[in-house]
Structure 1
Amino acid sequence: MNAASNTLKARLALATAWLATRALMLWLLTHDAVPLLGNGSVAREVWRLYHHWYGVLAHGTFPAHDPLWQYPPGAGAVLLSPALLPGLTYFQAFVVLTLAADAAIASALTVVGGRPWRSLLGAWVWVGGLPLLLHTPLARYDVQVTALAVISLLTLPRSTRACGVFAALGALVKVWPVLVLLGVPRGRATRSAWSWAAGAAAVVLGVLAALFAHPFSFLRQQGGRGVQIESLGGTVLAFATHAGWPGKVRYQYGSFEFAGPHVRTVAHVCLALSAVAFGLLLLWRLRARRWTPATPYDAALSAVLLFTVTSRVISPQYMIWLVGLAAVCLTARQTVQRPVAVLILAATAVSAVVYPGLYGQVMACTWTGCVLMLVRNGLLLTAAVWSFTRVWRSTRPAAPARVPRVSPDSRGVTPPVPV
């Protein structure tokens, strides 16, 4: 009775905390014009860019000739979803649906965390971690993508089919959720999850291709991406400006990127590091021998961390993905990612200082901006290395017990080995 009462109290506390923090995020969004909150740049993404794409998509075509459109075709469905709430403006409907996705994540983490051998710590990490990004999550569709990835992982113990379908839906919106399938246990579970993911992706892609023109136009925009100022490579270039490097910051491909000598080289190095990360993850998969209920969660977080830190772009909303996956890890008591989650939360808090707080300093490559990016990306890099190391060690076979070596006595008789 006491256990049930404590669980109910914990869930009520989570619900209260969610309502309070989301009310604060909404208040910040309504005061978006304040300089420290971005001078309106956070909300502008929705009511200008997303709304523009909504108008194009409503006519049955993807933005084929728009260099800012760099997303898989599933993103079109998310951007069209505000039409489900015709009584609201596009911006209002988008925020309401984002809050609904946020609530779905919190509810799923709470339900799963309340089960035996589970923990509500993951739900607390999501409820308390997302507001560290201030109001930015409400004006980006990364919460919706994270919801698909989180639900995919949480459904894995009960249904590999559902796990595969949700992962596929997430990948069709923003690619990275396919990584959540990396840690599915070998054998039948892996075959089921991946086959259902492939089938779901094929069906949805077929439907989108039938309903919209140019569904794969986003592919031609990816090759021209440079090095975003918030990426790890961008941090190197920002410090290089203080050593006389003549590069400049320009707005292109939907973000502020560096332009100048050696930028392409840095971009190629980032791509090479992503390839190395993929190789390490593949090697881990081949050599892993021990699986716990937390291994799929831990592996998903590690994979997304590695690809995030090696990417040419690390936008502030990427932290939403990491907070969501860290929350999933902390629902399992066997997770090895607890210290990694602390680093992610710290990096998330710094990200809010970077954007929208002091983004002008980052764009101008001042010492303040450079140090902020060094701290944030240093935390992420440390988290990625530590995460992968802990996953690798946790899945290695246990060392065989050493049998003590016993020498014969003076009569040549070997005494029995103690058991």
Structure 2
Amino acid sequence: METTGARRSLPWLLMAWGVTRLLLLLFVFKVYVFPGPDVTSDVSVIYHGWYEVLRTGTFPLDDVTWQYPPAAALPILAPGLLPFLDYASAFFVLAFLADLVALSLLVYAGRRPNRRLSGAWVWVAGVPLLGPTVYARYDVMVTAVAVAALLAGSRRPRLMGALAGFAAMLKVWPALLLLGVRTRGAWMSAVATMAGLAALFTLAMPGAFAFLTFQRDRGTEVESLGALVFHVARHYGWDGQVLLNYGSVEFLGPWVNIVSTAALALTGMTFGWLLLWRLVATRFEAHTAADAAFVGVLMFTVTSRVISPQYMVWLVGIAAVCLCFRATLMGLPAGLVLAACFVTVLEFPLYFGNVVASDPLGITLLVVRNGLLVLAAVVAARRLWRSTVPKPVPAELPDQAAGAGRAKETSASS
């Protein structure tokens, strides 16, 4: 009966994907203009500029907006494989294909025994909730690789490790996919892949790791959790500024360094919690790796100095993998992430001017979006802990132990 239901829902799933993705393509190709700032300019201006530099055999050493690991050069250069299209159009087509690959993997996984198509539905619904930004950033390509890695984990751990390592060299966050993996082969494969790619790019192209310095010098981006301090402070005389800095709109001025440092400290604390969980967890099931990755990426996103709209694509992809498993406990956190996606498209690009101005509407949207993410992270972390860490057995008090001993003696003598 469940298989029959899945077969019946599949045509609706594919139809929903087709309709929503057609709308996204119409928006990025500007057949219809999506309200708010032009989200495609990153591709036509920034990505294209990087492409022109990268094709000469070097990384953009003088561009502080280049803040990515060396393998990020691959998706930036990839539109060159479609020479019959201009750069931006080729990029949009490749983003669409990456979206299709992720869907195909989720559908295939969802039709296996003890799986379900709920994960594919999360992907179908979550991506368009973010608007055309999804196809105007290379994060959807990274997420497709991450989805492939997590789905390969239970049956082919070495492949999972290789894919996770490759994805981490595209954009650092997929290293968190290994949090819940206990197979040594997966870790060795990931390390070997990352080391091989690092060596290859270091030898072949100058400036492969210049991005580390650029990331270190970033400030507090206006959409982040810490930015709420300054959104409110602007109404009470804070004399800082909101400027385009390091490729994003950030707060600059008094106390910004302190808030940014606090965010880094909070990220360190969350990694400490994840390490503690990894040391004490003993119950690992087929879905645990995906659940742990979801919790890790949620925590990383919430505590980051930057919460750009494209970060939500990561969460949607991993949540989709979690919900492929019937036994997962991440249903509620995944729903909260989908709700946060809807609020995200409202704050960017629809009402981004209000966010930059720190007016009541902009602040409200950020409070709701970031609040949903914090709640999702807390609920997900609690469920992961309770499902994998055994409860400690309470030690008997001395009086209780003595009483139990006398009871046994009385029973034996009678």
Task: Give the structure-2-normalised TM-score.
Answer: 0.94
2:90 to 79, 89, 93: 93
- For 1:125, the equivalent position in structure 2 comes to 122
Q: Please state how far the C-alpha of 1:9 moved relative to its aligned partner.
A: 3.0
TM-superposed deviation, 1:408:
9.8
Q: Distance in 2 between matches of 1:401 and 1:217?
A: 52
Q: Determine whether 1:109 maps to 2:106.
A: yes
How far apart are residue 29 of structure 1 and its match? 2.1
Q: Which residue of 1 aligns with 2:195?
A: 202
Structure 2 match to 1:262: 255
Matches within 5 A, 1:210-225: 210-225=203-218
Aligned equivalents of 2:323 and 2:70: distance in 1?
32
Q: What amino acid does structure 1 have at the position aligned with 2:36?
A: G
The more displaced of 210-219 and 378-387 is 210-219
Return the offset for 1:334: 1.1
Structure 1 residue 38: Cα displacement: 2.5
Q: Which runs of 5+ in 1 are unaligned?
A: none
Residue 150 of structure 2 is matched in structure 1 by 153
Counterpart of 1:275? Answer: 268
**What's 1:393 paired with?**
386
Tell me if structure 2 keeps the 8 A contact 1:98–1:143. Answer: yes
Which residue of 2 is the match for residue 38 of structure 1?
Answer: 36
Trace 1:291-302 onto structure 2 (pairs within 5 A): 291-302=284-295
Asked if 1:313 is matched to 2:286, the reply is: no
C-alpha distance in 2 between matches for 1:203 and 1:212: 14
Alignment partner, residue 169 of structure 2? 172
Q: How does 1:43-54 map to 2 (within 5 A)?
A: 43-54=40-51
- Name the aligned partner's letter for residue 16 of structure 1: M
Instruction: Tell me, yes or no, if the aligned pair for 1:14 and 1:124 is still in contact at 8 Å.
Output: yes
Conservation of the 8 A alpha-carbon contact between 2:225 and 2:370: yes
CA distance in 1, matches of 2:252, 2:181: 41
Taking a change above 3 Å as real, the CA distance of residues 323 and 401 of structure 1, as seen in their structure-2 partners, is: same
CA deviation after TM superposition for structure 1 residue 7, in Å: 3.4
- The CA deviation at 1:6 is 3.9
Shift of 1:5: 4.8
Q: Please report how far the alpha carbon of residue 203 of structure 1 lies from its aligned counterpart in structure 2 after TM superposition.
A: 1.5
- Secondary structure of 1:249's partner? strand
Structure 2 residue aligned with 1:84:
81
For residue 32 of structure 1, report the CA deviation from its aligned partner.
Answer: 8.0
- Give the match for residue 10 of structure 1: 9
SS of structure 1 residue aligned to 2:226:
helix
3-state SS, counterpart of residue 232 of structure 1: coil
Per-residue Cα deviation, 1:327-356 (whole angstroms, up to 9, x for no partner):
111001111111101110011100000000
1:222: Cα distance to partner?
A: 1.4
Q: Is the 8 A contact 1:297 1:329 kept in 2?
A: yes
Given residue 52 of structure 1, which amino acid in structure 2 is its aligned partner? G
Q: Which residue of 2 aligns with 1:23?
A: 22
1:174-214: CA deviation from partner (whole Å, max 9, x where unpaired): 100000000013xxx1x111110011112222222233221
CA distance in 1, matches of 2:7, 2:329: 27
**Structure 2 unmatched runs, 5+:** 396-402
1:332 aligns with: 325
Whole-Å Cα distance in 2 between the matches of residues 64 and 52 of structure 1?
12
How has the CA–CA distance of structure 1 residues 5 and 91 changed in structure 2, closer, same or farther, with 3 Å as cutoff?
same
Tell me, what secondary structure is at the counterpart of 1:135? helix
Whole-angstrom distance in 2 between the partners of 1:304 and 1:179? 7
Aligned match for 1:375, one of 354, 368, 376: 368
Residue type at the aligned position of 1:183: G
Q: Secondary structure at the match of 1:242?
A: helix
Question: What is the CA distance between 1:3 and its match in structure 2?
Answer: 5.7
Between the two proteins, the alignment pairs up a number of residues equal to 408
Q: 2-side partners of 1:337 and 1:414: how far apart?
A: 51
Q: Quick one: structure 1 residues 408 and 224, their matched pair in 2 at CA, closer, same or farther if it must change by over 3 Å? A: closer
Q: Deviations over 1:244-264 (max 9, x none)?
A: 211210111000000111000
Measure, in 2, the Cα distance between the counterparts of 1:329 and 1:286: 22
- Larger CA deviation: 9-18 vs 229-238: 9-18
Relative to 1, partners in 2 of residues 1:407 and 1:262: Cα closer, same or farther, differing over 3 Å? closer
- Which residue matches 2:398? none
Q: Equivalent residue of 1:37, what SS?
A: coil
TM-score with structure 1 setting the length: 0.92
Identity among equivalent positions (%) equals 46
- What secondary structure is seen at the aligned counterpart in 1 of 2:236? coil
Contact 2:180 2:292 in 1 (8 A): yes
Cα drift, residue 10 of structure 1: 2.6
Amino acid at match of 1:87: F
Deviation (angstroms), 1:33: 8.0
CA RMSD of aligned residues (A): 2.3
Asked whether the equivalents of residues 294 and 319 of structure 2 are also in contact (C-alpha less than 8 Å), the reply is yes
Bigger CA drift: 113-122 or 389-398?
389-398
Amino acid at match of 2:117: L
Q: Cα offset for 1:323?
A: 0.6
Q: Match for 1:60 among 57, 60, 69?
A: 57
Task: For 1:123, give the aligned amino acid.
Answer: A
